Structure 1
Amino acid sequence: MCKNCNIAIGTFYNYFSSKDHLVREIFVSDWEKSIKIIEKMKSSDITLREKIYNFVYLNQNNYMSFEELYQILNL
């Protein structure tokens, strides 16, 4: 994974204790982004259907932005 990202193994371990730790941090970050999206939509005047659609659309775009990383991690 480090080779594919062009970083030294030691540099990786300065920030993450394992590949699993990195994956957890990515999911926590994504979860926090999802919560922010939900909080913004709660106060909007759009219908519930539009809120659900927007949430799914925004999250899909967020996950797609990590597609290359997931391939590097072999997930």
Structure 2
Amino acid sequence: MSRIIENPKQLILTRAKEILYNEGYEKFSMRTLSKKCDIALGTIYNYYPTKKELIIEMMTDYWKEHFYVLEDIVNSDDTLYIKLNEIFNKLSIFIKTFKEIWLKPEFYENPDYIKNSLEKENIYMEKLVNMIENILLKEVRNNKINLKLDSYETAKFILMNCITMVQMPIFKYSSFEMFLRELL
């Protein structure tokens, strides 16, 4: 008699994240995942036909989880600069977690994967830009900053600089904040 697994898709995602975070992409395999989940390899392939699809789903799931945290940051009573610093820190965790995967050439062999993952990434980036823009607009309404430039373009500028600082840490966030204070 086969055993019933409560929410097998979530179990697979949870264990896959654990392997990825603790052991890295190189040690990540569907067989290892099958053993960690204590389910048949075929069951995993029923939900995720390829490792790439599983990784894309993991990134998507990670974004969804973190948007709840980001919403709390946006809605908090903290200052603009504390909120932006917290967003930077959350974004840093995501980028550092998945950077190893993004740079793998085999992840980009199939144009469908590129299209699918980039479409999702663009949706999440747009949502993050909108969150930052909302923070800026709230600060303007409360007369805490004088926004001299378009709020949407300023939000994109902030986000792209945060991403760049994580990927190339030659420029510190504290220096960026100093520039922002002068700009705003």
TM range (shorter): 0.5 to 0.7
Paired position in structure 1 for 2:30: 2
Q: Provide TM-score, normalisation by structure 1.
A: 0.63
Q: 1:18 to 1:6 in 2, by over 3 A?
A: closer
Q: Contact 2:34/2:41 (CA < 8 Å) preserved in 1?
A: no
Q: Tell me the residue number matched to 2:48.
A: 16
Question: Structure 2 length normalisation: TM-score?
Answer: 0.31
Report deviation, 1:56: 2.3
5+ residue gaps, structure 2, are 1-28, 108-184
| Identical-pair percentage | 23
Cα separation, 2, equivalents of 1:34 and 1:5: 23
1:54 and 1:40 mapped to 2: Cα distance?
11
The RMSD of aligned alpha carbons is 2.9
Q: C-alpha displacement at 1:4, in angstroms? A: 3.9
Contact 1:34 1:59 in 2 (8 A): no
Instruction: Give the deviation of 1:62 after TM superposition.
Output: 5.5
Deviation at 1:21, TM superposition (A): 1.1
State the aligned residue count: 70
SS of alignment partner, residue 34 of structure 1: helix
1:26-65 correspondence to structure 2 within 5 Å: 26-61=58-93
Q: Distance in 2 between matches of 1:11 and 1:50?
A: 44
